[in-house]
Amino acid sequence: MKIIFTTKGKSWDSAMDPRFGRADTLAMYNEEEDSFSAVSNTDAETMDHGAGLQAAKKVLELNPDVLITGNGPGNKALEILKKSKVAIYIGAGDMTIREAYDAYRAGRLPKFESKA
């Protein structure tokens, strides 16, 4: 299973970024291969609009099964992500990547369905 995290860094001990579209980094853990990698998302910081859509496209390129973030994507990005069937979990904004992974595995992160 491939799991994407919205983060502020590139290691297991990096802080999660509660933002989806403007997260500094998209980190990925591949459970089957026990491998960890990261993709920069800093170009989103300079975008006036569309950062969430751009981040959603990057996520799709990585083809994950799960996305773990803080607050969840906006409606337009959510539409794109739902088409790919990626499961989205929120509530990890004040954790490290390792803590977010452990919380996900323990079933302590709520599944995100849509913006209210």
Which residue, chain included where needed, has tokens 């409606």? 75
- Structural domain total, the chain: 1
Which residues, 6 or more positions from 85, have their beta carbon under 8 angstroms from its beta carbon? none
Query: Residues 35-80: pLDDT tens digits?
Result: 999 998 766 455 455 677 788 988 999 999 999 999 989 888 888 8
CATH code of 25's domain:
3.30.420.130
Torsion, Cα 30 31 34 36, to 10 degrees, reads: 30
Query: Residues 72-110: pLDDT tens digits?
Result: 898 888 888 988 889 999 999 999 999 999 999 999 999
Q: Which two tokens stand for residue 12?
A: 């297991």
* 96 in a structural domain: yes
The amino acid that residue 93 corresponds to is G
* 114 in a structural domain: no
Rounded to 5°, the CA angle 65-112-88 comes to 15
